């Protein structure tokens, strides 16, 4: 177990990361399995019974996050509960430990009724994805940008892939594949030696080996434009810019600042130009996703103004590439980024993911060094980043156009 000690918080977080190499046909299995494992245990045989058990454990909560990173598929399950030091319950940490042990490592055959209920819920979630417009639009954007690569695949797997899984097949995957995953265990909060000792059985599942270095896919392509018409009253515009910068690249911090200047906060170029000056968007933003080597630009607009809005978005990016940032643009972006970083220190939920990525990427920039890296970024660095931008994909999800 990797312990992140911080006595500023009244809760403890324990996270388990299950890491495996990406296999496209395993997406559906891993999504379904995660939902099933966290819905009941052999001791608490229904969702209701598990919910009551968590309530009795002083309101313990469970959340999960499933994602891909480089060549790895990652399942994170996080438990949040009160600091045991504040409780008059000597058995509390043992109960949490036993719950985690039973939930993930000591499973008997899966219950058919719980499997069916969980599977039905996931199928409904996938079937209704179009109703969640932005989520559907982002998924389609990734499909067209990374078509043929695992990044284009929905993390749930497809409807048919989930539908085809039987309870026997899922249990076989659990026993023969999932339990052989690399498992990393983390705890954050006011952690004592007694706490670590009480979680000894869980710690034994934590893999001590390092993984092979992360390989971020390099997906460049010719420009393609796509559009989907659905029953909606607005339009979502997505632009994908290939940007060949990795986490260890000397220009990485400059790339984050570039995204902020372009569309990362209310003083950004896109926000002011597209929303405030031309009233074309109610929301507009830009974000660099270094696990994909892409900068994505998004806007929510009136469907009848989507062509004008897209042209203005592209022109704003092109002008930024040509002109570079002003001194004011860069200083404001630095102030905003530093404020976000300092603020994150007050949020316990950011501690474990940050430590996990540091280990996965095999990097370690101390906080003060990272702050100095931000301060050292120059306008020339931003210009170097901008010179790498290449628009490869546009996607619009919109409603039917109104007739004049």
Q: What is the DSSP string of 246-270?
A: -TTSTTHHHHHHHHHHHHTSTTSHH
Residue 94: band (very low, low, confident or very high) from pLDDT cuts 50, 70, 90: very high
- The gap from C-alpha 241 to its chain's centroid, in whole angstroms, comes to 19
**Chain segment 50-75, per-residue pLDDT in tens:** 999 999 999 999 999 999 999 999 99
Closest by CA to 278, choosing from 303, 256, 309, is 309
CA dihedral of 131, 132, 137, 142, whole degrees rounded to 10: -120
Q: What is the mean pLDDT of residues 13-20?
A: 97
CA 134-139-144 angle, 5° bins: 125
Interval 254-268: pLDDT, tens: 999 999 999 999 999
Range 38-59 average pLDDT: 96
Q: How sure is the predictor about 206, in pLDDT bands with cuts at 50, 70 and 90?
A: confident
pLDDT band at 201 (very low <50, low <70, confident <90, very high): confident
Residue 388 has pLDDT above 70, yes or no: yes
What pLDDT score does 270 carry? 97
pLDDT band at residue 403, thresholds of 50, 70 and 90? low
Structural domains in the chain?
Answer: 2-203 (3.30.830.10), 224-398 (3.30.830.10)
Inter-residue contact 9 to 189 (CB < 8 Å) = yes
Which residue did the predictor score with more confidence, 6 or 393? Answer: 393
Chain centre to alpha carbon of residue 249:
21
Give the contacts of 69 (CB within 8 A, at least 6 positions apart): 214, 291, 360
């Amino acid at each position: 177990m990797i312990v992140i000690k911080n006595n500023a918080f009244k809760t403890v977080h324990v996270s388990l990361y299950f890491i495996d190499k990406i296999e496209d046909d395993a997406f559906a299995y891993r999504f379904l399995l995660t939902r099933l494992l966290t819905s009941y245990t052999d001791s608490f045989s229904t969702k209701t019974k598990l919910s009551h058990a968590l309530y009795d454990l002083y309101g313990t909560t469970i959340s999960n996050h499933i994602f891909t990173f480089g060549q790895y598929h990652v399942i994170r399950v996080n438990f949040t509960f009160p600091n045991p030091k504040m409780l008059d319950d000597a058995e509390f940490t043992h109960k949490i430990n036993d719950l985690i042990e039973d939930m993930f490592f000591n499973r008997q055959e899966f219950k058919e009724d719980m499997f069916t209920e969980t599977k039905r819920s996931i199928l409904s979630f996938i079937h209704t994805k179009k109703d969640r417009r932005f989520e559907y639009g982002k998924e389609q954007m990734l499909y067209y940008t990374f078509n043929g690569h695992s990044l284009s695949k929905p993390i749930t797997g497809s409807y048919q892939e989930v539908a085809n899984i039987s309870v026997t097949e899922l249990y076989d995957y659990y026993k023969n594949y999932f339990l052989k995953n690399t498992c990393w265990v983390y705890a954050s909060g006011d952690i004592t030696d007694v706490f670590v000792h009480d979680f000894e059985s869980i710690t034994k599942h934590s893999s001590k080996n390092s993984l092979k270095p992360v390989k971020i896919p390099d997906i460049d392509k010719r420009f393609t434009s796509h559009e989907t018409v659905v029953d909606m009253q607005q339009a979502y515009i997505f632009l994908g810019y290939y940007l060949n910068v990795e986490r260890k690249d000397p220009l990485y911090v400059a790339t984050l600042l570039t995204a902020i200047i372009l569309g990362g906060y209310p003083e950004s170029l896109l926000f002011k130009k597209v929303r405030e000056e031309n009233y074309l968007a109610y929301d507009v933003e830009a974000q660099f996703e270094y696990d994909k080597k892409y900068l994505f630009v998004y806007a929510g607009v009136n469907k009848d103004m989507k062509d004008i809005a897209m042209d203005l978005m592209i022109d704003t990016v092109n002008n930024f590439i040509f002109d570079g940032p002003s001194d004011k643009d860069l200083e404001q972006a630095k102030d905003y980024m530093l404020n976000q970083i300092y603020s994150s220190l007050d949020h316990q939920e950011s501690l474990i993911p940050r430590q996990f990525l540091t280990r996965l990427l095999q990097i370690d920039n101390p906080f003060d060094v990272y702050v100095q890296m931000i301060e050292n970024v120059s306008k020339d660095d931003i210009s170097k980043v901008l010179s790498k931008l290449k628009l490869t994909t546009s996607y619009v999800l919109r409603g039917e156009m109104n007739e004049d």
